[in-house]
A and B are shown apart, each in its own frame.
Chain A
Amino acid sequence: MTELSLRLAISVAQIAAVMGVVMLTVMILTLAERKVLGWMQDRMGPMEVGPYGVLQPIADGLKLFFKEDIVPAGANKFMFTLAPILAMVPALIGFAVIPFGPSQPFEFFGITVKPFVISDINIGILYILAFTSIGAYGIILGGWASNSKYSLLGGLRSAAQVISYELNVGLAIVGVLILAGSLSLVKITEAQGGGFWHWYVFALPAPQIFAFVVYVISAVAETNRVPFDLPEAESELVAGFFTEYSGMRFAFFFIAEYANMVLVSCVAAAMFLGGWNAPYPGTILGHMGLEQFAWAENIAWFTVKAYAFLFLFFWLRATLPRLRYDQLMKFGWKVMLPIALGNIVVTSIAAYLFPKG
């Protein structure tokens, strides 16, 4: 029983650590987005709170926390309360299977622990897909429960968009799954070790470069970011599905959106860009004889890859205008879907002709 409780304690500690890091990342992102947008538009961004504006996220958080919580007249109170929770929980729960660092087991009071992944389940990537698809419920129900036409339209747009682009996300990663022969993110990442030419974007016999592009575009669409932010198009729908939300409930939707961005960035890094593997064989610390500290370098590489994606999100926002709704649907079904399907066929043939080892 003590072993069970110790395992439980370790799991809780891991979950707390990951949640802490994700929340910290979300805080950093809210500031980074405004700063990056500011620089790209030749502005300063937030400069008031703290030196160079770095304490802005804390000020924003405090403001949202102390705002009045308004439930609009005629809203369905139960659904209105449930929706932000339904949006936020799936966004955070997906991090359970992301490998942040090397999976070498680690002895801890007689128990072997994999310190850098909360749970290595053998269907890791499907688990993430399942829970990201649940995230749509929060948006749809939030839009419906608000009793406002803008919210409802935002919710409906989001439903159609998420379904369309989820399909492309799922199909884009099939190529990687064929090459790796596993659904576990830990195994997929491990199979990409030994230099950037082993990453699945570039790896022979079937470089997944097209699948990667499809994945990135679909991921942007699935997280409702510019240029696919039609569910919350401010020029048409005020603020879309969360028009009527205020205070912490709005904050929940906001955190969910950013946590989803972090999640899709982590998945992209793990599936296509080698996860925690460095772009050269082994690690520098390992070659210097400091094998026990090599995990730090691996985690650093994972962080760099994830943040590169997050920067891409901001970059797109600063660069591109919003798509029209019919363009969005046409693009998803007539361009992205055929490319993803074609990639599966090509990858399958290549994997059949050049089997591994």
Chain B
Amino acid sequence: MELIFFFYFALVIALASVLVVALRNPIYSALSLLIMFFHVAGLYVTLHAEFLAAVQIIVYAGAILVLYLFVVMLLNLRHDERYHRQWPVAGLIGLTLVIEGLVLAIFSRRTASSGPTSTETAVEGLGNTEAIGDVLYSTYLFPFEVASLILLVAMIGAIILAKRNIGQDDGLHVANAQVETR
């Protein structure tokens, strides 16, 4: 039963991902991406990671993809003349990734018999959300803080980019104006 669901989700994810890059109309591409996000969330549910599934939909489908659609509609892209000269490069990268995946699959099958890892045993018995919070703020505290720092930097960067032409009397503006005139 679980296997049927897995193959259904995996199949749809693969198909939708191909459609995202294969479809000519950018709006249809975005919708394929939406379908893909939903099925990834479904995959999380079959793994009993409900919190991740919900966050997947809220963050990716609810916020990021809406922004994509926003941009696509505002720019009103033509359907032709997108990535057409990139097939060889894409093929090469795709092939590399497939080989990597195969290697990983073979190796993980060998190591899978060695039992659950330490984090898996640590979070057993807790609820899904509590488990994630627990691991995030203890074992993975440093990566978590680094990620939040990166987000902060991105946020400040976005503000500076947007504010460039508004603040008339700050020193930053003068420097940027010089860059622009070049």
A residues adjacent to B (C-beta < 8 A): 76, 79, 121-123, 126-127, 129-131, 133-134, 136-137, 140-141, 144, 152, 155-156, 159-160, 162-163, 166, 170, 183
**Across the interface, which residues of B come within 8 angstroms of A159, CB to CB?**
66-67, 69-70
B residues adjacent to A (C-beta < 8 A): 27, 31, 34, 50-51, 53-55, 57-58, 61-63, 66-67, 69-70, 73-74, 127-129
**Across the interface, which residues of A come within 8 angstroms of B127, CB to CB?**
122
Q: Contact at A133–B61, with CB atoms within 8 Å?
A: yes
**Across the interface, which residues of A come within 8 angstroms of B63, CB to CB?**
133, 163, 166
How many A-B pairs have beta carbons closer than 8 Å: the answer is 70
> A79 with B27: in contact, given A136-B66, A137-B66 (CB under 8 Å)?
yes
Complex alpha-carbon distance, A152 and B74, angstroms: 9
Q: Contact at A126–B62, with CB atoms within 8 Å?
A: no
Q: Contact at B70–A183, with CB atoms within 8 Å?
A: no
**Across the interface, which residues of B come within 8 angstroms of A152, CB to CB?**
73
Q: Closest residue of chain A to B67, judged by CB?
A: A163
Rounded to whole Å, the gap between the CB of A262 and the closest CB of chain B is 20
**Across the interface, which residues of B come within 8 angstroms of A136, CB to CB?**
62, 66
Q: Closest residue of chain A to B54, judged by CB?
A: A126
Complex alpha-carbon distance, A156 and B70, angstroms: 7
Chain B interface, DSSP helix/strand/loop, else mixed? helix
Complex alpha-carbon distance, A96 and B27, angstroms: 30
- Among A76, A130, A140, contact of B54 (Cβ-Cβ < 8 Å): A130
**Across the interface, which residues of B come within 8 angstroms of A160, CB to CB?**
70
Q: Closest residue of chain A to B73, judged by CB?
A: A144
Complex alpha-carbon distance, A123 and B34, angstroms: 21
Q: Contact at A122–B73, with CB atoms within 8 Å?
A: no
Complex alpha-carbon distance, A316 and B69, angstroms: 31
Rounded to whole Å, the gap between the CB of A189 and the closest CB of chain B is 18
**Across the interface, which residues of A come within 8 angstroms of B62, CB to CB?**
129-130, 133-134, 136, 166
Q: Closest residue of chain A to B50, judged by CB?
A: A123
Q: Contact at A162–B66, with CB atoms within 8 Å?
A: yes
**Across the interface, which residues of A come within 8 angstroms of B61, CB to CB?**
130, 133-134
Q: Contact at B73–A129, with CB atoms within 8 Å?
A: no
Q: Contact at B58–A129, with CB atoms within 8 Å?
A: yes
A-B contact pairs, 10 of them (CB 8 A): A121-B50, A129-B58, A130-B54, A130-B58, A133-B57, A136-B62, A141-B69, A159-B66, A159-B67, A183-B129
Q: Contact at A126–B58, with CB atoms within 8 Å?
A: yes
**Across the interface, which residues of B come within 8 angstroms of A129, CB to CB?**
54, 58, 62
**Across the interface, which residues of B come within 8 angstroms of A130, CB to CB?**
54, 57-58, 61-62
**Across the interface, which residues of B come within 8 angstroms of A140, CB to CB?**
66, 69-70, 73
Q: Closest residue of chain A to B25, judged by CB?
A: A76
**Across the interface, which residues of A come within 8 angstroms of B66, CB to CB?**
133, 136-137, 140, 159, 162-163
Q: Closest residue of chain A to B34, judged by CB?
A: A137
**Across the interface, which residues of B come within 8 angstroms of A156, CB to CB?**
70, 73-74
Complex alpha-carbon distance, A140 and B63, angstroms: 13
Q: Contact at B73–A123, with CB atoms within 8 Å?
A: no
Complex alpha-carbon distance, A160 and B73, angstroms: 13
Q: Which of B50, B53, B67 has the most CB of A within 10 A?
A: B50
- Supply 15 further A-B pairs (C-beta < 8 A) apart from A131-B57, A160-B70: A122-B129, A126-B55, A129-B54, A133-B57, A133-B58, A133-B61, A133-B63, A133-B66, A136-B62, A137-B34, A140-B70, A141-B69, A156-B74, A166-B62, A170-B58
Rounded to whole Å, the gap between the CB of B82 and the closest CB of chain A is 18
Complex alpha-carbon distance, A137 and B61, angstroms: 9
Rounded to whole Å, the gap between the CB of A87 and the closest CB of chain B is 14
**Across the interface, which residues of B come within 8 angstroms of A141, CB to CB?**
27, 31, 69
Complex alpha-carbon distance, A130 and B62, angstroms: 7
Q: Contact at A155–B73, with CB atoms within 8 Å?
A: yes
Q: Contact at B58–A122, with CB atoms within 8 Å?
A: no
Rounded to whole Å, the gap between the CB of B134 and the closest CB of chain A is 13
**Across the interface, which residues of B come within 8 angstroms of A183, CB to CB?**
51, 129
> A134 with B57: in contact, given A122-B129, A140-B69 (CB under 8 Å)?
yes
Q: Closest residue of chain B to A82, judged by CB?
A: B31
**Across the interface, which residues of B come within 8 angstroms of A137, CB to CB?**
34, 66, 69
Q: Contact at B70–A127, with CB atoms within 8 Å?
A: no
**Across the interface, which residues of B come within 8 angstroms of A144, CB to CB?**
27, 69, 73
- Among A76, A123, A127, A134, contact of B128 (Cβ-Cβ < 8 Å): A123
**Across the interface, which residues of A come within 8 angstroms of B31, CB to CB?**
141
**Across the interface, which residues of B come within 8 angstroms of A133, CB to CB?**
57-58, 61-63, 66
Q: Closest residue of chain A to B51, judged by CB?
A: A123
Complex alpha-carbon distance, A162 and B62, angstroms: 9
Q: Closest residue of chain B to A155, judged by CB?
A: B73
